[in-house]
Each structure stands twice: as C-alpha cells, then as structure tokens.
Amino acid sequence: MIDIERVQRVSGIVGNSDAIREVLDMIVQVAPVDISVLITGESGTGKEMVAKAIHKLSRRAQYPMVTVNCGAIPAGIIESELFGHKKGAYTGASEDRKGYFETAHKGTIFLDEIGETPLETQVKLLRVLESGEFMRVGDSRTLYTDVRVIAATNKDLGEKAHKGEFRQDLYYRLKTVTIHIPPLRHRVEDIAPLVERFALEFTRNNDMVYRGFMPEAIRLMKRAEWPGNVRELKNFVESILVLEKGERITAEMVERQLGRNIPPVGPKNRLLPVVVDQSAEQAERELILRQLFLLRQDVESIKQALAGQPGVPVGHDIAYLPDSAVEPLHPALKIDEHDQRLIRDEAIGDMTLEELEREAITRTLQFFNNNRRAAARSLGMSERTLYRKINEYGLEPKIKRTTGDR
C-alpha cells in the first residue's frame, strides 16, 4: 500500500501545506494506475519531482523513466528524437535509431514542457498515447510501445488550445488527470521545512557548520515573492549559507541577500506583506520546533566547548538564562555549570510538543523579564494566546520576578 508518508520518503517531496498534501494524495491515487497524468505549475514548483515520484511508486519502477524536454529540442528533429528514424530517412541518418518512446518501453516517458511541442508532432503524440502505436521517421512500419505518459507544463494549456496553439483533442486526452502545484508564494508554510531540508542537505554534503535560521529570517523569507519558486529558494538557501560562513542566519542577512542577489520582479516590491494562509496554531508549532532546533545546536556547541575543543563559540549569539524558576526541573532539562537551563541531548525525541512549548514560554518570559507583550511578540503568538497558555500550564507563580515588570 502507498500512503503519503511513503510518497514523501521515496520522493523527497517536502511540505505540509494543504496544497502539497493534495498533491501527495493525488500521487498516492494515480501512481499504481496506468493512466496518463498532466502536471501543471510554474517553473521550479516541483513538477519533475512529482513525475519521478509517480514513476517510482508505479509498477513500472523497475523500468526506465525517460525525460524529454520538449521545449529544448528543435522542431526539426523532435519527431526523430521521440519516435526514432529509419536509416536514410534524411541526410545524416546513417543508422536506424530508436526514439525515446522505444527506449521507455515498459517504463515511463516524461514529456516536460509539452506545450512547446509543434502541432504536427502533437497528432503523433495523441496516437501513441491512445494506442501505443507510432512509426519511426522514414519508416512505414507501425511499432508498438508500452509506456506510461506523464506530461508537464508551466503554460495554460487550455488557453493555448483555445487559441489553436495546442490541439484540443490532445489537451482533453491529457488533462483527465491533472495535478496542479501552486506557486510557493501561495503555500508559504512550506518555506520553513523546505529551508530546513535544503540547509541540512547542503551543509552535510559540504561538511559545513550549520547553526540554523532565526525565526525572524524565516518570517522574512515568507514575505518574499519567489518567482522561481522552490528552485529559487533552494539556490538562495545554499548561497546564503556559503556567504555567511556557518553563522546562524538572521533576518538582516536574509534582507541583504534578497535585496542584492534577486532582481525585483514586476512593479511589486518583493517584500510587501502577503496574506499568510497559515493557522495561528500551525505557526506556533513551527516556531517552537525551530526553537528546539536552535537549542539543540547550542547544546552541541557547549558540549564541544566543554570537551576542550578550541574555537567553538559558547552560545555567543543566544542569551542563556539563569535558572530563577523555583519549579522542580523537568527530567528532560539540566542545568550546566554556568547556571543555564538546557534541554538534555537524550531528551530530544522524548519531549512532547507541550513540554517544549512550556519550556519555550517560560524561558522567553524570563528573558523579557516577564514582559508579556515582548514575549508574545518574540514567540510569534498573540498576547491573548500567551495568556491562555500561561494559565493552561500554570506558569504564573513560577516566573514571577522580584523586578515586577508588570
């Protein structure tokens, strides 16, 4: 059985937005069935990734997936590329040659940028899609191939068909099963997990230190437009990590990079606020996880520093808090010799989100001297939510300070 988790594992597709969940759901449904699929979406949204996922999860996975970029092959040779040719079919055709449809026999053919295929070729595509039949160029024998067709386009094929630039019949044949991937700016909640994935992958592959992105940096990235979508985001993450040489990435760094390296597109300011279609609950959860992530890295730094490794900064950019709380220490926490409360390494993986949230809230309140407004802003939650959580977790008496800020 295929499920969403398996699709994510096999394909590496990252994202928790409803849009991505729907895409994953579609993959689950269509992968095992021998049906052609049209994938639509702007450039860089992950169309090829989805095509690969469908192939890998299909019964054809053992056989090749042949990718053809229809937009990159000159019109004059595209038919010979797709269907092959017979020796002598034209000048220079000194041998019989197999085309991609033959090479992909029993497997999958991925026709990328199908909107760019010349109209004459489209008739032949329709035929092979419907019956598996085709002819090599210059040959009169009909050949048969068993391929599954996956096509992709960043164009509005419907409009092209309407204008006569794309065959109606082929369009209708293709669009029966359509998977649409929305642009990144319409699913900004995917940005944090994507950044995490790209950063971890990149730093691991290049033996680089990685200290994470500050929540503010991520928030800023969510407000950018990303016309190149996930591809652009990935390049951005990699270049900022290189340029900042292992520093924790701050909002200032992001602002500098976004402004300098990516030309503004259109009349709109890239950093104008956009509607963030993310529930408050989700946003909170994300922030807490991020805090945990940063904490874990600091634990690492400190451990290394204590082990006497020179040159490792001890939490130089994060404020550790004296343990002024009187509550008994949670078993997942420890106090080090600098009087700092840390989450034990061994506890990572055991602490529930609630415990982490409680800890994050307690420490943030302490940090801001019990100023709830500042704490709420820093945690990225409303004051009202913070109040509710303080009551819920019974934090009130434990974080009272003698200074009595409020």
Ligand X SMILES: Nc1ncnc2c1ncn2[C@@H]1O[C@H](COP(=O)(O)OP(=O)(O)O)[C@@H](O)[C@H]1O
CA distance 191 to 226: 10
Choose between 15 and 227: whose C-beta lies nearer to ligand X: 15
What are the backbone angles phi and psi of residue 38, rounded to the nearest 5°? -110, 130
The nearest distance, CB 15 to ligand X, in angstroms, is 5
Choose between 48 and 139: whose C-beta lies nearer to Mg ion: 48
Residue 256: half-sphere exposure toward Cβ, Cα within 13 Å = 9
Choose between 48 and 238: whose C-beta lies nearer to Mg ion: 48
**How many residues sit in the footprint of Mg ion (CB under 5 A)?**
1
Amino acid letter, residue 88 = G
Choose between 41 and 380: whose C-beta lies nearer to Mg ion: 41
Beta strands in 58-120 (DSSP E): 65-69, 84-85, 97-98, 108-112
Choose between 13 and 26: whose C-beta lies nearer to ligand X: 13
Select the residue interacting with Mg ion from 22, 25, 48, 238 (CB under 5 A): 48
Regarding 232 and contact with Mg ion (CB under 5 A), the answer is no
Choose between 157 and 395: whose C-beta lies nearer to ligand X: 157
State the angle between helix axes of 353-367 and 280-306 in degrees (0 to 180), rounded to the nearest 10: 80
Whether 54 and 30 have beta carbons less than 8 Å apart is answered as: yes
What are the backbone angles phi and psi of residue 294, rounded to the nearest 5°? -65, -40
Q: Residue numbers of the site for ligand X (CB under 6 A)?
A: 12-15, 41, 43-49, 194, 230-231, 234
Choose between 2 and 49: whose C-beta lies nearer to Mg ion: 49
The nearest distance, CB 52 to ligand X, in angstroms, is 8
Q: Give every CB contact of residue 186 below 8 A, 6+ residues apart in sequence.
A: 19, 277
Q: Give every CB contact of residue 19 below 8 A, 6+ residues apart in sequence.
A: 181, 182, 186, 187
The nearest distance, CB 118 to ligand X, in angstroms, is 21
Which residue minimizes CB distance to ligand X?
Answer: 46
The nearest distance, CB 43 to Mg ion, in angstroms, is 6
Stretch that binds Mg ion, among 45-53, 170-178, 193-201, 294-302 (CB under 5 A): 45-53
Long-range contacts of 370-375 (CB under 8 A, 24+ apart): 370/399, 370/400, 370/401, 370/403, 370/404, 370/405, 370/406, 371/405, 371/406, 372/406
The nearest distance, CB 9 to ligand X, in angstroms, is 12
49 binds, among Mg ion, ligand X, none (CB under 5 to 8 A by kind): ligand X
Stretch that binds Mg ion, among 48-56, 90-98, 209-217, 292-300 (CB under 5 A): 48-56
CA distance 154 to 188: 20
Q: 10 Å Cβ neighbour count for 401?
A: 12
The nearest distance, CB 193 to ligand X, in angstroms, is 8
User: Which of 152, 154, 142, 123 is closest to 51 using CA atoms?
Assistant: 152
Choose between 17 and 301: whose C-beta lies nearer to ligand X: 17
The nearest distance, CB 48 to Mg ion, in angstroms, is 4
Stretch that binds Mg ion, among 47-55, 129-137, 189-197, 347-355 (CB under 5 A): 47-55
Interface positions with Mg ion (CB under 5 A): 48
